[in-house]
Structure 1
Amino acid sequence: MRHGTSRHGCGERHAMQRMMREAMRHGMGRGGRGFGYGFGGRHGRGDDDGRGRRRRMFDSGELRLVLLKLIADEPRHGYDLIRRIEELTGGAYAPSPGVIYPTLTLLGDMGLIEAADSGGAKKLFAITDAGQAELDANQDAVEALIERLTEVGEERQRTDSASVRRAMGNLRAVLMNRLGDRDLDEATLHAVVALIDEAAQKIERL
């Protein structure tokens, strides 16, 4: 035991070290990511359901409307639709071909889209009159869906930059190394906590 340090104080210091290490592991995650909604914790190839599992960005009915809207903008093939959705979300989400192509088949069976003359190997899809009527009848829902995708892209652009990830990774590495120091005294530990709190407050006020 270090001179002048009570067992109670030593126990409290070790408890604080453990708590901070756990916060670093679960708060930042691997590679310095995962500080809540804005730092990659929610958006990837889908939304997290809160238990580490992904759920779809939207349900099948919503996906049909999104595809109809994009095809109404201009005739598109399957890969182009995937790429366009990925562009809207800034790379945060891209539906798989296993989702896109069955949905396109369904839209065709419903008479909402039809094959267009592409002049190439890839099959283009164009909207039909029935498809346009479906879009018009769901205009508010379509606008909300496109806005949702755009917001995901804007948030990705704001929070998922390489410099932010690098800085967070550096902070995590330094803290994990310092918290693992057996000679870390309570005063230094409190100083570390104060610095983190101060940085968080300054960022919040930006």
Structure 2
Amino acid sequence: MPHRLDTLLRRLGGRHAHHRLHAMAHHGHGGGHGRHSGFGGFGGDDESMTRGRKFSSDELQLLLLALLEERPSHGYELIKALQSRSNGFYSPSPGMVYPALTYLEELGHVTVSQEGNRKCYALAGAGRAYLEQNREQVEWMMARLQHIARKMNSIRRALTGEMPPPDDAAGSWIPELTRARGELKQALMRTANVDEDEQRRIAAILRQACEQILGDTG
């Protein structure tokens, strides 16, 4: 069953999974508790998730460097680490990872040692410096992987009718924060047809809010 469920999730994809869960909630499946229980708060609110967007080659290189910063690894271990951190959503193929590692080696960002028939990659000084230059982007991507992992967990629980733990719905977010996120989404949807001046005003408000949030949690 787990293998078949994983296959189904890959076929559904982000947006299709959202529609499926919405239909399940509407018709009372998954224990009959609607969006407040078995569906774990999965509502397609992560735009990149619902569009199924993965990472570019440059972003993949940064992710590999970030993992190697934690410990030297074989290519296969790096693939499994990315798969694990995203709860199965992001699993780059060897055809993507090994060329990226070769390119990083050519740049001098990683070093390679031979361990039997396998290569072990480690972060080099140049790679560490490059990571520091892009630390904010790396932290954002790692946070995104964690967020997607929570989404995938909610989808799996919904499709199997399993009740999530109390803090699984939004990654331990308190109800007030979950409600505020929903209210923000609704407010933005209601401004879809406003003029450019009003859009600029809204953008300024959101930028200020982001700065305050990051300033409080940074």
Residue in 2 aligned with 1:153? 149
Residue in 1 aligned with 2:93? 96
Which runs of structure 2 are paired with 1:48-87 in the superposition (5 Å)? 49=51, 55=53, 57-87=54-84
Residue in 2 aligned with 1:28? 20
Which runs of structure 2 are paired with 1:142-181 in the superposition (5 Å)? 142-161=138-157, 164-167=158-161
In 1, Cα distance between the equivalents of 2:92 and 2:107?
Answer: 21
> 1:24-70: CA deviations, max 9, x gaps?
xx9429xx79x999379x99xx9664xxxx64x11111111100010
Give identity over the alignment, percent.
32
> 1:83-113: CA deviations, max 9, x gaps?
0000101112201111101101110111100
In 1, Cα distance between the equivalents of 2:69 and 2:160?
Answer: 41
User: How does the TM-score come out when normalised to structure 1?
Assistant: 0.54
> 1:101-149: CA deviations, max 9, x gaps?
110111011110010353x321000111101100111111111111111
In 1, Cα distance between the equivalents of 2:156 and 2:148?
Answer: 11
Q: Which has the larger radius of gyration?
A: 1
Q: Which runs of 5+ in 1 are unaligned?
A: 1-25, 169-203
In 1, Cα distance between the equivalents of 2:126 and 2:61?
Answer: 14
* RMSD over aligned Cα atoms: 3.4
In 2, Cα distance between the equivalents of 1:84 and 1:95?
Answer: 10
Residue in 1 aligned with 2:103? 106
Equivalent residue letter for 1:85: L
Residue in 2 aligned with 1:190? none
In 1, Cα distance between the equivalents of 2:60 and 2:156?
Answer: 25
Distance 1:77 1:89, change over 3 A: same
Q: Is residue 75–residue 98 contact of structure 2 (8 Å, CA) maintained in 1?
A: yes
Task: Tell me the secondary structure at the aligned position of residue 112 of structure 2.
Answer: strand
1:134 aligned residue (119, 125, 130):
130
Q: Is residue 83–residue 91 contact of structure 2 (8 Å, CA) maintained in 1?
A: yes
Moved over 6 A (4+): none
In 1, Cα distance between the equivalents of 2:79 and 2:50?
Answer: 20
User: How does the TM-score come out when normalised to structure 2?
Assistant: 0.51
